[in-house]
Amino acid sequence: MTEAELEDLCLEWFRETGWDVLHGPDIAPDGPSPKRGHYREVFLRQELEAAVRRLNPQLPESAIESVVGLVTKPQGLDLVANNRAFHKWMLDGVPVEYKRDDKPVHDHAFLIDFEHEDRNCFQAVNQFTIQGTKRVRRPDVVCFVNGIALAVIELKNPADESADIWAAHNQIQTYKEEIHDLFVANEVLVVSDGTNARVGSLTADQERFLPWRTLASESDKPKLEMQLETVVRGYFRRDLFLDYVRFFVLFETDGERVVKKIAGYHQFHAVREAVRATVIASRLPEPELTAHEGKRAHYADNVVPGSKKAGVVWHTQGSGQEHLHVLLCGQTPARARDEQSHAVDCHRPKRPRWPALRYILFVTRPVATITCPGRRP
């Protein structure tokens, strides 16, 4: 199999997963169906403008133009700082001011609808040509949501023993230097030779590029011939990808350096199931889970609604339990609101007893407890 054949196969998997597939030369500035004005532009401006207009019907045209102009212009020279700011915009909305009846209105424009995947535009584009600082660059596959480049996939020839996934990793480092604007909104990087595939964040080194082994849930680990297929069908499943961007991305400060950390597959599915269990445990016997939650792993099926007993999450050493705890506490209150359950806040004692880190979810009184031991007793 050649690299071109692997790329075509990757695009076909995206198409089967519900993404629109576009070919870079077709939508290039001088192509038959251009979607950007020049080769230095890294947003699909038509889709971005349409999304801002669709998701924010209250905004006048002048405000829409202001939002799009702000979003498509880098805010500084520090790529990671720009990335962090853009991530906040995606979650909280872009601040915008306009006038209504001659009175100033302070509002936020949302770029992505995380609750309703069908209101977003998902596009996978191959051979997306960008004019870099030294030469033209063409990442193999760029994944856009509402015209925003959220993922970059770099592939290498499976038949070339010297071109492994780490050669793809090195290629991405070159892209970050020469076409850094492409990564301002980036949430994930993928490197693969088809058989092997790894997922990492904008700041991750090789050690932090990890496999993605699941499709729909922790119990769904297919033995596919190519790891890249698992990544596309699992990680990039549209509803899961939106959930990941919304709840499973962290920024940490290490001295003067900002580090972006994204969840591994085990953290992703453990937190989703723990949240589901907690929401069930913290409410009255009805209503049932909403349809979008669907069937996942079996743990939450054993939780008694309203029992205030969500269960236990077991960790192995080095599994990233502290980050899992942060992700759990960040997502649970939002999911409780989505499910119209009790208003839930999350509390971690300042000095938890080791090895048990106890996270307690409160309303007017504690409604559910989930314990995350460091190791089995």
Q: What is the pLDDT of residues 276-306, one digit of tens each?
A: 777 776 665 554 444 345 555 555 566 656 5
174, 323: one domain = no
Task: Please state, rounded to an integer, the average pLDDT across all residues of the chain.
Answer: 81
Q: Average pLDDT in the 132-150 region?
A: 96
131 has which bridge partners?
Answer: 136
Could you give the residue ranges of the DSSP H alpha helices within 133-208?
165-178
Specify the DSSP class assigned to residue 17: T
10, 143: one domain = yes
33, 122: one domain = yes
AA letter at 209: F
18, 162: one domain = yes
> Could you read off the pLDDT of 69-116 as tens digits, one per residue?
999 998 888 999 999 999 999 999 999 999 898 899 999 999 999 999
Share of the chain residues as helix, strand and coil, in percent rounded to the nearest 5: 35, 20, 40
* pLDDT at position 219 over 90: no
Specify the DSSP class assigned to residue 210: B
Positive or negative: CA dihedral 49, 53, 55, 60: positive
269, 199: one domain = no
Question: Whole-angstrom Cα distance, residue 238 to residue 322?
Answer: 27
Considering only residues 361 and 231, tell me which one the structure prediction assigns the higher pLDDT. 231
27, 171: one domain = yes
Give the per-residue pLDDT at 359.
41
Considering only residues 194 and 242, tell me which one the structure prediction assigns the higher pLDDT. 242
Share of the chain above pLDDT 70, in %: 73
- Domain boundary at 220, 244, 262, which? 262
307 band by pLDDT with thresholds 50, 70 and 90: low
276, 355: one domain = yes
Provide the residue range defining the domain that includes 239.
3-45+115-262
CB atoms within 10 A of CB 34: 14
CATH of the domain at 12: 3.90.1570.50
193, 288: one domain = no
238, 271: one domain = no
**Number of domains within the chain:** 2
Give the per-residue pLDDT at 69.
95
Question: Whole-angstrom Cα distance, residue 272 to residue 274?
Answer: 6
Residues 6+ apart with CB under 8 A from 247: 271, 327, 330, 331, 334
pTM, two decimal places: 0.81
216, 255: one domain = yes
